[in-house]
Every structure is written in C-alpha cells, then in structure tokens.
C-alpha cells in the first residue's frame, strides 16, 4: 500500500481504519491523518499490543485495502 496515496485520500481510508480498529477515536484519526507511523503508535497505545503485532495487523490491513492511484480524465 502506498501511504502517500493513503494520506491524500485519508477521508476515504479513515472509515476503513475505524472499522478495523474501533477503539481509535475520531480525534485520534484526525491526528493520524494518513501517517502509517502515527497509526501504528495509536494502535499500540489503544490496544496494548506489541510493535510486532501492530505491524502484523497493519500489513494485513494493507493487503485487504490496496490503495490505487486515482485516474484523472482530462
């Protein structure tokens, strides 16, 4: 997953992240704003899981939610 694309389309991905990690608040999601590192830190803090487990969950999330560039038609 290209996290530059996720950052640019954060409003679309925010709902998917909220569905997967429901303990994250809307305020936390606004702070994350598409940053993978920020997401990982917030997941670790909210769920009390290890960095390795967090990375595993994010990798699984990435596989299920491939970010594709938006095609613009001129």
Q: How far apart are CA 22 and CA 72, in angstroms?
A: 33
pLDDT at 12 over 70: yes
**Domain ranges in the chain?**
3-64
pLDDT at 1 over 70: no
pLDDT at 31 over 60: yes
User: Residue 11: phi, psi to the nearest 5?
Assistant: -60, -35
Please tell me the pTM assigned to this model.
0.79
Question: What Å distances lie between residue 53 and 9, 33, 71, CA to CA?
Answer: 25, 22, 34
Q: How far apart are CA 28 and CA 21, in angstroms?
A: 11
Q: How confident is the model at residue 59 (pLDDT cuts 50, 70, 90)?
A: very high
Domain 3-64 has CATH 1.10.1470.10: yes
């Amino acid at each position: 997953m290209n996290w530059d694309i996720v950052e640019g389309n954060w409003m679309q991905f925010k709902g998917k992240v909220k569905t997967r990690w429901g303990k994250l608040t809307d305020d936390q999601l606004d702070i994350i704003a598409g940053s993978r590192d920020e997401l990982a830190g917030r997941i670790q803090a909210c769920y009390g899981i290890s960095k390795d487990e967090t990375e595993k969950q994010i990798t699984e999330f990435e596989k299920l939610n491939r970010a594709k560039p938006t095609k613009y038609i001129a």
